Structure 1
Amino acid sequence: MRRWLEDVEAKHGLDLLTERSRQLVLGSYAALGALILVWILILQGDVTRLGPVLAFILPLALFLPSIVTKRPRGHAWLAFVSLLYFMIGVNVAILPGVGWLGMLISLAALGLFTGCMFYARFRSRQIKTGRGE
């Protein structure tokens, strides 16, 4: 795996890989947040209680400063947190009537995990070589 990643870095360059993985992080982060809100609204139906909304959205929101400031370590930790959302998606997928939503949540969380891990790797290597912003 390490050899393959080094070959990909040599072929495409760190700048392009960093930018592509960042795009994946931003897209899947937004999609996951939106899907979690939809899931809460479908299952709960009552939007006046903010407890469930905060319980599911707050862990994602805590990593927003790391995403904005492009910190590789924050992205690595977000990758681990995204696995919790993957488990939520798998659990929602087995519920009758909202299985499609659970599959979408799982895919968004998996995309976030992949994007964060690649971004953390490529950005830290970019900083180490002195090409970072």
Structure 2
Amino acid sequence: MRQWLLDLERRHGRQALSEKTRRVVLVSFVVLLGLVMLRGFQVQGDEYSWRPVLAFALPLLLFLPSIIGKRPRGHAWLAFVSLLYIAQGVMFAAATGQFLRGALEIAAAAALFVGSLGYARFGPQKAPR
């Protein structure tokens, strides 16, 4: 696996891979956040409250400074948190009548996972001391 990553870096260049993975992270983050917020609004029913929306979206929103600041360590932690959304998507996909919503959440969270790990690997590196 390590050799494959080194070959990939040699063929495409670290800068190009960093930009591609960053785009994947941004797009999948926005899609997943939209799906999660939509579900939060649908959970509350007739009453209007931001609590369900914040409960679903807050774990993602906490990583917004890391995404904006282009910090590879924050992206690595975001990859771990996206696994929770994959598990949640599997639960929704198994529920009656929720397969499409669950499958979309699984796809967006998996793309966020792969993109975040890719950015953590190919993103800007600190100079050794």
TMscore range, shorter length: over 0.9
Is 1:50 aligned with 2:43? no
Q: Which runs of 4+ in 1 moved over 4 A?
A: none
Offset at residue 76 of structure 1 (A): 0.2
> Do residues 33 (structure 1) and 37 (structure 2) align?
no
Scaled by the length of structure 2, what TM-score is found?
0.92
Aligned residue number for residue 13 of structure 1: 13
Alignment of 1:104-119 (within 5 A): 104-119=104-119
Report the Cα offset of residue 128 of structure 1. 4.5
SS of alignment partner, residue 95 of structure 2: coil
Partner amino acid for 2:54? L
When structure 1 is superposed on structure 2, of 16-25 and 47-56 the one drifting more is 47-56
Task: Map residues 92-131 of structure 1 onto 2, 5 A cutoff.
Answer: 92-123=92-123, 126-128=124-126
Q: Distance in 2 between matches of 1:56 and 1:72?
A: 24
- 2:56 and 2:119 mapped to 1: Cα distance? 24
Percent identical pairs in the alignment equals 51
* 1:104-128 deviation digits (Å, cap 9, x = unpaired): 00110000000000000001xx424
Q: In 2 relative to 1, CA 66–46 (structure 1 residues): closer, same or farther, beyond 3 Å? A: farther
Ranges in structure 1 where 5+ consecutive residues have no aligned partner: none
